[in-house]
Amino acid sequence: MTVLVVIESELGQIKKNGLELASYGRKIANDQGITLTAVGFNIKDYDVLSKYGVDKLFNIETGEDIFFDVDRYSESIAKIVKKENTSLIIVSSSADGRYLGPVLSIKTESAYISNVVEVPSQYDPIQVKCSCFTNKAFKISKSLKNRTIISLLSNSFGLNEKASSLELINHNYENGTVNLKVNSVDKAQEKVSIADAQIVVSGGRGLKGPENWHLIEDLAEVLGAATACSKPVSDMGWRPHSEHVGQTGKPVASNLYIAVGVSGAIQHVAGINSSKVKVVINNDPEAPFFKSADYGIVGDAFDVIPRLTEKLKMRK
C-alpha cells in the first residue's frame, strides 16, 4: 500500500488544509509502516511539510499559468500516481479538492469517496467513515477498487506535528486534454474563506438589514473569522450568495461557529453541524437553534454583539 496527499497552496504558501492532509496522511503511513508522499503545485514554503511528516514531495512548477487548472493538475497527478503505484490518494474537501477528486478518479481508475471524517478502519480494501445527508448522518463506505481517492472533510482530523526529512522532487507539469481556460480570478481581498476558517461568524434575518452587518464583520475581525449568513439573507441580497451556508449553501466545518439572529432551521443547521462548537445568540429563548448549540445567550444582537466584540478586543 502507498499513499499520496495532494497539498493545496496559495501564492506559494501551503494552506492550512494542506497541513491537515499531511497530518492525516502521516497517521495512515505510520499505521501501515510506509512512507508519506505528497504532491503540490508551486509550493515555496515546502520546509513546513517536514514538520508534518511528509517524506517526499513532488513539486510541480506551472510557470506562467498561475490558476488552478483541474485538467492539467489531474493529468500531472495521474502521472505520479502511476509512477508511484499509489493505492490511496487524499484530497481536501475544499472547492478545488472536490473538483479535482472525481476527475482524477477517472484518470487513475480509482474509486472515489468524499466527505471522509476519520482514518480508514480497514485498508485492504479501504473502508472509511464519511458524512452524508448534509451532516445528518454518517456512512461506512467500502472501496471496491484497489486504488481509492478520498476527500477529507476539513477540521475532522486536525493538525499533528511529526518531524521527517523531506525529499524534494521537481515534477513535470503535464499538458491538458480538454478546452477549458481560466482567464481571470477575483479573490475576496484579505478575507478568510469559510472553508479555511477556524471560526465562522454568521448572521441571520434577526439582524434586520445589510446596514447592520458591521456587527458581524467587527466580531469576525477580532476573532480572525470568516463571515457567513443564512439563506434568506443572501436571497434578499443583503449579503453575497457566496456567504450562504447550510444544506443548499456552503458547508461549514469550523472549530467555532457563532450564529447571530439565525433561527436554526433544519436546513441551516444541517450544513453547519460538523462545526465543533456552536454558539447561538438570539433574542427568542424558543429559537430552535438553542437545541443544537453548545453555548447560548438569550439577548438582543444589537446589545450583545457590540459588547462581545469590545470585550474580545480588550482581551487581545
Ligand X SMILES: Cc1cc2nc3c(=O)[nH]c(=O)nc-3n(C[C@H](O)[C@H](O)[C@H](O)COP(=O)(O)OP(=O)(O)OC[C@H]3O[C@@H](n4cnc5c(N)ncnc54)[C@H](O)[C@@H]3O)c2cc1C
Q: Least distance to another protein from the beta carbon of 63, Å?
A: 18
The rounded distance, in Å, linking the Cα atoms of 176 and 257 is: 40
Q: Does 311 bind another protein (CB under 8 A)?
A: yes
| Pick 54 or 279: Cβ nearer another protein | 279
Residues 3 and 119: their CA atoms lie apart, in Å, by 13
Q: How far is CA 13 from CA 40, 72, 283, 287, in A?
A: 11, 20, 42, 42
183 binds, among another protein, ligand X, none (CB under 5 to 8 A by kind): another protein
Contact 234, 249 (CB under 8 A): yes
> Among ligand X, another protein, none, what binds residue 156 when CB lies within 5 to 8 Å by partner kind?
none
Is 210 an interacting residue with respect to another protein (CB under 8 A)? Answer: no
232 touching ligand X, by CB under 6 A: yes
Examine residue 185 and tell whether it contacts another protein (CB under 8 A): yes
**Interactions with ligand X, residue window 178-217 (CB under 6 A):** 204-206
Q: Closest distance between ligand X and the C-beta of residue 62, in Å?
A: 35
Question: At its nearest, how many Å lie between ligand X and the CB of residue 91?
Answer: 24
Stretch 251-290 residues interacting with ligand X (CB under 6 A)? 261-263, 265, 267-268, 271, 282-284, 287
Residue pair 301/261 in contact (Cβ under 8 Å)? The answer is yes
174 binds another protein (CB under 8 A): no
Q: Provide the pairing of β-strand 295-298 with 3-7.
A: unpaired
Task: Identify which of 289, 197, 294, 292 has the alpha carbon closest to the alpha carbon of residue 250.
Answer: 197
Nearer to ligand X, 53 or 246 (CB): 246
By CB under 8 A, the residues from 94 to 123 that bind another protein are 94-96, 98-99, 101-103, 105-107, 110-115
Q: Is residue 270 a contact point for another protein (CB under 8 A)?
A: yes
Q: Whole-angstrom Cα distance, residue 202 to residue 87?
A: 40
Residue from the set 63, 64, 137, 286 that interacts with another protein by CB under 8 A:
137
The answer to whether residues 76 and 60 touch, using CB atoms and an 8 Å cutoff, is yes
> Site residues for ligand X, window 211-230 (CB under 6 A)?
230
Exposure pattern of 126-138 as b/e (b: 16+ CB <10 Å)? Answer: bebbbbeebbeee
Residues with Cβ within 8 Å of residue 240, at least 6 apart in sequence = 234
Radius of gyration of the chain (CA): 21
Contact pick of 82, 208, 214, 241 for another protein (by CB under 8 A): 241
Q: In sequence order, which residues have a C-beta less than 8 Å from that of residue 233 and are 6 or more positions away?
A: 203, 204, 205, 207, 239, 243, 244
231 binds ligand X (CB under 6 A): yes
223 binds, among another protein, ligand X, none (CB under 5 to 8 A by kind): another protein
Which residues contact ligand X by CB under 6 A?
A: 204-206, 230-233, 246-249, 261-263, 265, 267-268, 271, 282-284, 287, 300-302
